[in-house]
Amino acid sequence: MAFANPKNDGSGALGRTGFAWAVFEWARNPYYLMVVIYIFAPYFARHVIGADLIASGDLDHLDADTAQSTANAQGQASIAAVIKWAGIIAALTAPILGAALDRGGRLKPLLGVFFALIATCSALLWFALPGGGGLPAWVIMTLLVIAYVSYTYSEVTHNAMLPSAGPPESLSSISGLGLGLGNLAGAIIFGFITMLFILPAMIGWPFAEPQFGLNMDRYEHARLVGPLCAAWITLFSAYFFWNARDPGTPGASWIAAMREGTGGLIQTFKEAKRYRELLKFLIAHMLYADGMAALLALIAVYYSLFLGWDVLELIIYAIYASIFAFAGGLIGGWLDNTFGVKRALLMEIFLMVLTFGIQLSITQESLLFGAIENSKVWDSIVFETLSDLIMLALVSLVAISVTASISSSRTMLVTLAPPGRSGEFFGLYAIAGTITVWMGPLLVETFTLWFNDQRAGIASINLLFAVGVAVLLGVKVDGKAKASHQ
């Protein structure tokens, strides 16, 4: 790996421009981890949407368990709706933005706008108060949509700057450093929240009470992640904006770039039609990857509402899953080399679906759809029951299989792409990943509301896996790059 001193503009990942590119992920990624997945979204679904529905009296005609189940289902559906609408907007606009970036003006000002939107929307999440008194729920959901779309735009724009961050032989190191820094930043903030607020409130350690006067009864520790992420983004993006190399052309017309980029998109899709097996793989990936994205974005909400996991359990789950996700990347490469990329990818998806199915069989009362009664295993502040421990163990398999499948999917694209044109088709690969990103959340929202049941909602993701695997089975790896002239 090519590393260099961050004090100079060396050619490695720690050169000035390479390190600046990577620091962007240190600044941005905690928002997705804290707000979208692990802390704020489960809080908002459970203690704002669900609790407000119960408090409204609309469920008074139901018994307590049914009312709580209905409230939980509405909370999950609301978060799914946020991701669905953000996905639809991204699907309609992000590909055009991506195609225009190579032809337009400076990219840093665009990123400044996107960061400002993320930070502003994130800071306002502090006012998502339980029991009313803060911003209305629909306003909070709108803020989440705006921030999510801005996050997607920032990712597309940031990725477009990678080739200018260093020489070709250093780009994988620079990219890997960015991913590592993003996860490290999330782990640091997780630890900050746990040590300063959650553990003091639960066991009086390492402090006798939550610091800075936070009121845990008002869920201020969960609401705080919004302003905290806003401050983090603002503070740590400065190094990127000061030192990163901007590949854009000063004064270039963005209107012309959008027009030319749209034409380039159309041409790329026409080119893809000539490569039948590659096109089938892109369709398969579009479906199963959307299922994975929905699973990752919504599973923490499911754990929180369906199994009653609190914020400490979700944080432990996040760190635990990250460790096994790292291992998944290594395992994915080994599987590719051992069984061939297509077989490896199918094995990884099948493992993920099988594990997910077992997870769906677990409730707070039983395991394996009632075959085994749940019981308390030990006295602890977290994961006390057999259901909790088995679910946590299964999380490791999901993390490994998801990460391994991402790695194998990239290898599959390289295997199928015409020689010397993998970079071009990676652009199409990225575009295809945004087109259907709304489908998984739409299924979860629809099935959750249809059946008034969280488990039915989250289980609907399997439809995407099923169709994606069916298409993938028909992809022929041999004769991979032969163009079809029929």
Tens digits of residue pLDDT in 64-95: 999 999 999 999 999 999 999 998 998 888 87
Query: What's the pLDDT band for 479 if we cut at 50, 70, 90?
Result: very low
Percent of the chain with pLDDT over 70: 92
Mean pLDDT of 402-410: 86
d(CA 27, CA 196): 21
Q: Which of 315, 350, 344 is nearest to 332 (CA)?
A: 344
Residue 265 in tokens: 């998109």
d(CA 127, CA 240): 30
Q: Which of 478, 154, 122, 441 is nearest to 292 (CA)?
A: 441
Query: What's the pLDDT band for 330 if we cut at 50, 70, 90?
Result: confident
Mean pLDDT of 450-459: 94
The pLDDT tens digits for 89-136 are 988 888 788 878 877 788 999 999 999 999 999 999 999 998 878 999
d(CA 444, CA 82): 11
Predicted model pTM: 0.86
Find residue 367's DSSP bridge partners: 372
Q: What is the DSSP letter of 385?
A: B
The pLDDT tens digits for 181-225 are 888 888 899 999 999 999 999 999 999 999 999 999 899 999 999
d(CA 222, CA 38): 10
Q: Where are the alpha helices (DSSP H) in 32-170?
A: 40-43, 51-55, 64-101, 108-124, 137-160
